[in-house]
Structure 1
Amino acid sequence: MAERTDVVVVGAGVSGLAAARRLCEGGLEVLLLDGGGEPGGRAALMPPSKPDGLRAGSMYLPPGARALLDLAAELDVAVEPALHDSALADLRVDEDGGVHRSDANVPLGTSWWTRLRNEWIFTGFARKTRTVDLAEPWSSVGAAGLDRCTVRDWLRSYSSDSRLLALVEEALTLDAGLPADRISLLWLLAHIGPDLPEEEDFLRLDPALLVERMAAPLAGLVRTGRHVERVRQDEHGVRVSGPWGEVAADRAVLAVSPADAAHVAFAPALPPERERLQRDWPQAEIIRTDLVYWRPFWRGFGLSGGVHFDDGVPAWTLDDSPVDSTEGRLVAHTYTFGERDPLGADQGIAGAPVRHRALLLENLRVALGPLADDPIALTQSSAGPGTYSRAYQSPTPPGFLTGYGPWLRRPVGRVHWAAAETGVFPGNGTLDGAVSSGHRAAEEVLRES
């Protein structure tokens, strides 16, 4: 017989956990199903390194991530400023292996618009953001024209300064995870938002601890190893099933990315617009590597640990060491969308983890010295989405928001949608968006109950 509950939440990542907590507070019975081996979803992107079991590195967020910051405070999860010492130098490694101290890209631990605030091109972005509706960017005045335009096309129409344009595109790619020729101008303006603080140094928290404390009071409600294949609904309720069996509920919250929802069979079929949204959802192509050393040795050489690599393996690194410097940590990101774009790498890297690791360590040695290619632990995320999506970043291509945006959060019968991609801008596609989307989906269900 099917297990019975008031609400079944598919996906025990941050958005699913946030939805379940809110639903339980509202007095409803909840079950969470997750295809993985433990809760956490994309916040558990990096498993503890083996065999030493060191915890994965930090997740970074801007000071404006209100829903996430409030949740972290409630759960007593420490939030710290990203490390940046102005006395330490960032580096840039060119395609020929030359190492240069970089003034143009410091600090790496701040947003790209903060780094470019003194450049006149920033005023063009800032002016346009004031017209964008953050709740529904596709409803903004002039949305169709903004959505047809790529960020690269707009940049090149606004300025002919090739050096400045290259800097803007690199900085944007670093934050967004995709190059400017794949990103809609409307998406970027919504992602930036109209109210930018004067200073925006990033904050960091331990995502594993956040998930652990979110999941603790829900421990008896989470069913792991439950990959969902089918969702059936009628006027009486919803049935969610897979090889493991079936759960019956009054309503369902699918707290998974649209790309993952595309692998679920729905009966009756979803509206064509929602199906196309899921089928065409873009995926950022990022490999994250966490490296652990005995100490942050680069600081002894006057270096910050922040490095840009022109050949793209990795695209950049960031110092993620603990405040007390008990160990040295670097986070490295490689973008696998191709060498022709800023910070892109050879696409063959995605399917060759051993080769990627060797190139990454060699490039770190060139930049930071021989100690860099001898970490005591190294863990990598998979290059692609795999069974479940592996990157929060979700910039949309031209035409996507105006074509599919109205279906992004709209419930279909008794099925409600959560996940970072359904969050309100500018938090859409971030850990903060995951939290707020879970709360929003839960409130929808509570209003109908």
Structure 2
Amino acid sequence: MEQADVVIVGAGLSGMAAARRLEDAGVGSVVLLDGRDAPGGRALLPDPGVDGVSPGSLYLAERDRDLIGLAGELGVEVERVECDTALDDLRMDENGETSVSEENVPLTASWWTRVRDEWIEGRLEKLAEEIDFAEPWNSEHAEELDSQSVRAWLRTHSFDPESLTFIEEQLTMEAGLPADRISLLWLLAHIGPGPIEEIVPLRVDAGGLVRGLAERAADRVRTGRHVARIAHGEDGVRVSGPWGEISAERVILALSPADAARIDIDPLPPSRRRLQRQWPQAEVIRTELVYQRPFWTNFGLSGEVHFESGVPAFTFDDSPADSDRGRLIAHTYTFGEADPLGADTSVTDEPARHRGMLLDNLEQALGPLAGEPLAVVDHGSEPDPYSRAYQSPAPPGLLTEYGPRLRTPVGRVHWAGTETAEFPSNGTLNGALTSGRRAAEEVLREL
């Protein structure tokens, strides 16, 4: 049987960051296992297969200092995303009628910068002052805040139906789930300390970031290694799957709680098992469309379109800075049309029908060129056996019930992944990076 000092399950940003920290500390044998055929995890965006066009961008904020620092180390450019207010956003209603949107705020900006309701902003800022961002479940009024969904709180504090719908739409774009399935405590912790103010978004090339990390971890990464079982005890850890078995002193699971639930971990306390089973994943299909050029700008349009039909819910311009090609990113939410932005599940259950309707709606909104992409790549239209979604917001009641177990090791098993990071980085790429480093430090103290 192969032996290692540490096995890391999941070769995404978190897992590769953990491996790098362990290697820097002199740990002799570190092995990363990933079921996919390439490292990168949730940051590994599909390749559109068009010459000169790399996988899409990853968006971050100026406060994501760890990730910005890593990009600098790897020589990957981080660029500011400026909103050209001279270009119009569009909205298409369910009858196919298109109009210029009154809200000209880029979708790449953070949710709280798009709210445009000073009273709601003020209330959220005040509530966020009470939050313990390291452990929000220990905040003074944690149980009261966590017992409420964001929708319930908004409907108690917002009296304008149009404003309420708009705010819920913005939150869904940020978190990937409807507002009634998101905890108010999670949202306040996610917003972070300080006043809610305009944040200039940043973007980084996903492919460059993943390649840079993967090159440094190349001799430790084993792809195509689906992990089915982890057994641990006083004598060490045994990690196994259809490919065989590896023994180690410690194991780090750099996965979302929902993905960790797919692995048979023995022993595992019932409370940790319930945490993993109850942790949700965003329900979204991400579609990347590459065009000969960003033709929409010729018509004075930004490429940002909101569709009331939900297919897609919206698009935005993600055209690469180093190419003349145009690129739109479209999101379709698969939780049903009863909620704002949700699509008819009969459409999202059929990938070919979904793609056809998406292209038809884009063509109706942006003109015939929108129906002639060079490439269309869907992510999320088919179940992913290794990671379920980009985002992973907590529902009401989960943080106060299970939050303390998110990071607490179980025997020789340690937990990483962005869902285990401190807020407000929790749920972000920056959180993936910091959580991997934190888990590595835990392991170093035990070796």
The TM tier, using the shorter chain, reads over 0.9
Cα pair distance change 1:36/1:245, threshold 3 Å: same
> How far, CA to CA, are the matches of 1:346 and 1:297 in structure 2?
29
User: What pairs up with 1:254-265 in 2 under 5 angstroms?
Assistant: 254-265=253-264
What amino acid is the match of 1:432? Answer: N
Aligned identity (percent) is: 60
* Alignment of 1:274 onto 2:268: no
Cα pair distance change 1:392/1:358, threshold 3 Å: same
> How far, CA to CA, are the matches of 1:416 and 1:398 in structure 2?
25
State the 1:95 CA deviation.
1.1
State the 1:48 CA deviation.
1.3
> How far, CA to CA, are the matches of 1:275 and 1:225 in structure 2?
25
Which deviations, in whole Å up to 9, do the C-alpha atoms of 1:41-63 show, x marking residues without a partner? Answer: 1111x321247684221111122
Pick the aligned partner of 1:334 from 309, 332, 335.
Answer: 332
What amino acid is the match of 1:412? Answer: V
* Alignment of 1:9 onto 2:8: yes
User: What pairs up with 1:233-252 in 2 under 5 angstroms?
Assistant: 233-252=232-251
Partner of 1:344: 342
Which deviations, in whole Å up to 9, do the C-alpha atoms of 1:69-88 show, x marking residues without a partner? Answer: 11111111111122521111
User: What pairs up with 1:360-399 in 2 under 5 angstroms?
Assistant: 360-383=358-381, 385-399=383-397
Partner of 2:38: 38
Contact persistence 2:317–2:327 (CA under 8 A): yes
Partner of 2:424: 426
> How far, CA to CA, are the matches of 1:193 and 1:70 in structure 2?
20
Contact persistence 1:105–1:115 (CA under 8 A): no
SS in 2 for 1:49: coil
> How far, CA to CA, are the matches of 1:387 and 1:281 in structure 2?
16
Number of aligned residues: 446
Cα RMSD after superposing both structures: 1.5
Which deviations, in whole Å up to 9, do the C-alpha atoms of 1:392-444 show, x marking residues without a partner? Answer: 21111111111111111100011100111111111111111111110110011
User: What pairs up with 1:48-447 in 2 under 5 angstroms?
Assistant: 48-50=47-49, 54-117=53-116, 119-196=118-195, 198-267=197-266, 269-323=267-321, 326-383=324-381, 385-447=383-445
What amino acid is the match of 2:32? Answer: L
Which deviations, in whole Å up to 9, do the C-alpha atoms of 1:339-387 show, x marking residues without a partner? Answer: 0111110112332110110011111111111100110111010236520
Cα pair distance change 1:118/1:260, threshold 3 Å: closer
What amino acid is the match of 1:128? Answer: L
Which deviations, in whole Å up to 9, do the C-alpha atoms of 1:112-149 show, x marking residues without a partner? Answer: 21122553221111110110111111111111111110
What amino acid is the match of 2:40? Answer: G
What amino acid is the match of 1:169? Answer: E
Deviates more, 1:383-392 or 1:296-305: 383-392
State the 1:111 CA deviation.
1.6
Which deviations, in whole Å up to 9, do the C-alpha atoms of 1:241-275 show, x marking residues without a partner? Answer: 111111111100011111111111122x2111100
Contact persistence 2:57–2:318 (CA under 8 A): yes
What amino acid is the match of 2:73? Answer: E
Which deviations, in whole Å up to 9, do the C-alpha atoms of 1:318-348 show, x marking residues without a partner? Answer: 1011235511000111111110111110112
> How far, CA to CA, are the matches of 1:324 and 1:49 in structure 2?
15
> How far, CA to CA, are the matches of 2:161 and 2:171 in structure 1?
15
SS in 2 for 1:219: coil
Contact persistence 2:50–2:374 (CA under 8 A): no
What amino acid is the match of 1:295? Answer: R
SS in 2 for 1:409: coil
> How far, CA to CA, are the matches of 1:302 and 1:332 in structure 2?
19
SS in 2 for 1:190: helix
Structure 2's unaligned 5+ residue stretches are none
SS in 2 for 1:273: helix
> How far, CA to CA, are the matches of 2:56 and 2:2 in structure 1?
37
> How far, CA to CA, are the matches of 1:312 and 1:301 in structure 2?
24
What amino acid is the match of 1:358? Answer: G
Cα pair distance change 1:121/1:197, threshold 3 Å: closer
Deviates more, 1:211-220 or 1:18-27: 211-220
> How far, CA to CA, are the matches of 1:144 and 1:172 in structure 2?
22
Contact persistence 1:32–1:221 (CA under 8 A): yes
What amino acid is the match of 2:355? Answer: R
Cα pair distance change 1:21/1:260, threshold 3 Å: same
Contact persistence 1:34–1:226 (CA under 8 A): yes
What amino acid is the match of 1:34? Answer: D
Which deviations, in whole Å up to 9, do the C-alpha atoms of 1:275-306 show, x marking residues without a partner? Answer: 00111110100100010001100000000001
Contact persistence 1:350–1:384 (CA under 8 A): no
SS in 2 for 1:344: coil
State the 1:221 CA deviation.
0.9
Contact persistence 2:3–2:247 (CA under 8 A): yes
> How far, CA to CA, are the matches of 1:213 and 1:242 in structure 2?
28
